[in-house]
Amino acid sequence: MSIQREDIAMIQNVERYLEGKMLPNEIAYFEQLRKNIPEIDEMVVEHNMLMHHLDNYSNRLDFKNALNDIHDKLSQQGDIQETNEVSRTGRIVQFYNKYKRVTAIAASVGGIIALVISAIVSSIAPASNNNKLEQLNRVVAQIQQKQQSQGNKLNEVAKNKEENIIVNSGGTGFLINAEGYIITNAHVLHGSSGANVMSADHEIYDASIVYRDEIRDLAILKISDNDYTSIKKLPYTIKRSEMDLGEELFTLGYPRNDITYNKGDISASTGHDGDTLSYQIQMSANPGNSGGPVFNKNGDVIGIISTREKQSQGVSFAIKSKNIFRLVDDLKKGDHPVDIKLSTSASSIKNKDRVSQIKQIENCVFLVKAFNKKLNK
Amino acid sequence: MKSEYTEQLLLKGLANNDSKAIEIIYKDNFKMIQNFIINNNGDYDEARDIFQEAMIALYEKVQSESFVLTCKINTYVYSVCRRLWLKRLQSQGKFSNQMEFVEETVPIEDDIEIHEKRNAEYEIMERALSSLGEPCKSLIEGYYLKKMDMQAIAKEFGYTNADNAKNQKYKCFMRLKKLFFSQYNIGE
């Protein structure tokens, strides 16, 4: 395709004319040209139309983004419920408000009548009823005892967690900022003195262990390899707020040597044994997924996969992403303070389809291989 | 209840991209549409989709000079959503006659038609831009969408000077024109 210099000069003039950048005498000359040469007139009209369509396109794109931002904001504030149930603050509430007083009076009248009746009933009821009530109480106590012992058993499981976790040799980790800091599970590095990481395209880089927090089960690595070229900006953001039940999730990890995609959803807002630092998620995680990022459908990081339940298929636990912020805060205050800036600017993959989201994320998810210099028992 | 004045002010804000106004309209109306969609075979995500499309229709309507809204915002939004949802159900073969009329509706057929024409134009532009390829796509977006000046564009893309970047931009513009109008005229 060859475009003549004159063509370009002509477009330039058309654009200047349309953008009002011409001088008055230029305009007069140009308008004369338009009148005399139909091709030029046609060019102006087409150019103008295309600019108009570009403007429309741009406005709509901006507005769409604005709508999505507002939607997310409102849903975070709780003004919008992400639910498939009909909310009760519609008509029925309006109706209720309207007839509140009447209902209140009716209810209180009803309440008084109920009290009077129950007083009468209890005064004439046979005394033998009391025994039954006690018995019932005991049964309740028994049930409670049972529940407690079940709870204890669960606690035992929790204590034995270390043994239940299958991963030891390696896991997954992901970038938390553009400077090459990677987060993973502390248990991935358990008993290891060093680590390296492998990217989705199978490049291996040296990494140093910056921090381990065995209680939160989180650790931070930093890619220390000179061959590593850091990325400009993370495509995702790390969420501080908590997610709701039923939210759609996906993860990338290394249960094998190749990066692997998996999806699921949040099934409980607490983890194993009511652990409020984690979510329970419905996703089949495998050994090697540990330390992997959990994304919501917009591609924001909302958690880190940590463990799974051995008995039940597909039940896994993910540490909530707000713990990353806490970890980083701790690190700032520690003996050897390290200041890590987390990626919190809006994710750039929000409205993309899953395939292109993954394409952008996969470069930020690594296989973590922990190794020991000395032999471990 | 909101006074006429507030509604007018909201619409003015919407036309001027005032995010506070958009947020108020969003907050005041989304729940109604969510309930409507969910009550009629839809789910939350579909409600979000349909509602946002209605918001776009309203947004583009208020921007035209001849704009008059003869009803309340919520009536308009509901009417558009209802029509859009019916259409979507129909296209999925899920049409049911028992769609309930919870709110009053106003005739919006003409508006829907304009909206659909705009949808088509938007899609053509989207396709034309994406088939431009790089660096044309980013150049055009930088200049015509993000309104960056040529100096900044030249710097960001690594052209040695603004004139070279400008030259390339004009070439890209010509290609875009070709791509866009070849599709656009088919659609006519």
DSSP states along A107-173: HHHHHHHHHHHHHHHHHHS-TTHHHHHHHHHHHHHHHHHHHHHHHHHHHHHHHTHHHH----SEEEE
Could you tell me the pLDDT band of residue A275, with boundaries at 50, 70 and 90? confident
A245 touches chain B (CB under 8 A): no
The mean pLDDT of chain B is 83
Query: What are the beta bridge partners of residue A213?
Result: A218
pLDDT of B96: 57
pLDDT of A160: 41
Average pLDDT of span A268-288: 82
Based on the fold, state whether residues B68 and B127 are members of the same structural domain: no
B155-161's contacts with Cβ under 8 Å and 24+ in sequence apart are none
Closest chain B residue to the Cα of A77, Cα to Cα: B27
| Alpha-carbon span A283 to A266, nearest angstrom | 9
Query: What is the DSSP code (8-state) at residue B103?
Result: S
Last residue of a domain, one of B62, B91, B107: B107
Residue A261: partners with Cβ closer than 8 Å, 6 or more residues away: A250, A251, A252, A358
Residue A49: partners with Cβ closer than 8 Å, 6 or more residues away: none
The residue ranking higher by pLDDT, B168 or A102, is B168
Alpha-helical (H) ranges within A256-368 are: 322-333, 354-361
Q: Do B177 and A7 touch (CB under 8 A)?
A: no
Q: Which two tokens stand for residue A244?
A: 């709701």
- Confidence check: pLDDT of A12 > 90: no
Q: Among A58, A68, A87, select the one facing B35 at the smallest CB separation.
A: A87
Based on the fold, state whether residues B178 and B120 are members of the same structural domain: yes
Q: Give residue B146's domain range.
A: 112-187
Minimum mean pLDDT range among A87-101, A282-296, B84-98, B151-165:
A87-101
A53 touches chain B (CB under 8 A): yes
The mean pLDDT of chain A is 77
Based on the fold, state whether residues B40 and B93 are members of the same structural domain: yes
Could you tell me the pLDDT band of residue A26, with boundaries at 50, 70 and 90? confident
- Confidence check: pLDDT of A130 > 50: no
Based on the fold, state whether residues B79 and B133 are members of the same structural domain: no
Based on the fold, state whether residues B146 and B182 are members of the same structural domain: yes
Based on the fold, state whether residues B136 and B81 are members of the same structural domain: no
Average pLDDT of span A359-377: 75
Could you tell me the pLDDT band of residue A245, with boundaries at 50, 70 and 90? confident
Q: What is the pLDDT of residues A310-340, one digit of tens each?
A: 666 778 889 999 888 888 888 888 777 788 8
| 8 A C-beta contact, residue A185 and residue A219 | yes
CATH of the domain at A219: 2.40.10.120
Residue B74: partners with Cβ closer than 8 Å, 6 or more residues away: B28, B29, B32, B103
Average pLDDT of span B126-136: 87
Minimum mean pLDDT range among A80-84, A102-106, B181-185:
A102-106
Based on the fold, state whether residues B8 and B91 are members of the same structural domain: yes
Q: What is the pLDDT of residues A37-83, one digit of tens each?
A: 888 888 888 888 898 899 889 999 999 999 999 998 888 888 888 77
Based on the fold, state whether residues B82 and B120 are members of the same structural domain: no
CATH of the domain at B181: 1.10.10
pLDDT of A173: 93
Find tokens 């994710």 and name the residue.
Answer: A347
Based on the fold, state whether residues B91 and B157 are members of the same structural domain: no
Last residue of a domain, one of B44, B75, B107: B107
Based on the fold, state whether residues B23 and B66 are members of the same structural domain: yes
Does A225 fall in a domain?
Answer: yes
- Confidence check: pLDDT of B52 > 90: yes
Q: Which amino acid is at A290?
A: S
A85 touches chain B (CB under 8 A): yes
Backbone conformation region of residue A257, classed left if phi is above 0, alpha if psi is from -120 to 50, else beta: alpha
CATH of the domain at B16: 1.10.1740.10
Q: Is the complex ipTM more than 0.90?
A: no
Last residue of a domain, one of A45, A62, A79: A62
Please tell me the total count of domains within chain B.
2
Average pLDDT of span A267-284: 83
- Confidence check: pLDDT of A199 > 60: yes
Q: Do B56 and A8 touch (CB under 8 A)?
A: no
Could you tell me the pLDDT band of residue B51, with boundaries at 50, 70 and 90? very high
| Alpha-carbon span A301 to A173, nearest angstrom | 12
Q: Give residue A21's domain range.
A: 5-62
pLDDT of A366: 92
Does A341 fall in a domain?
Answer: yes
Please tell me the total count of domains within chain A.
2
Based on the fold, state whether residues B122 and B64 are members of the same structural domain: no
Average pLDDT of span A241-245: 84
- Restricting to B residues 149-178, those with a Cβ less than 8 Å away from any Cβ of A are 166-167, 170-171, 173-174, 176-177
Q: Do A57 and B171 touch (CB under 8 A)?
A: no
Parallel, antiparallel, or unpaired: how do β-strands A365-371 and A194-198 relate?
antiparallel
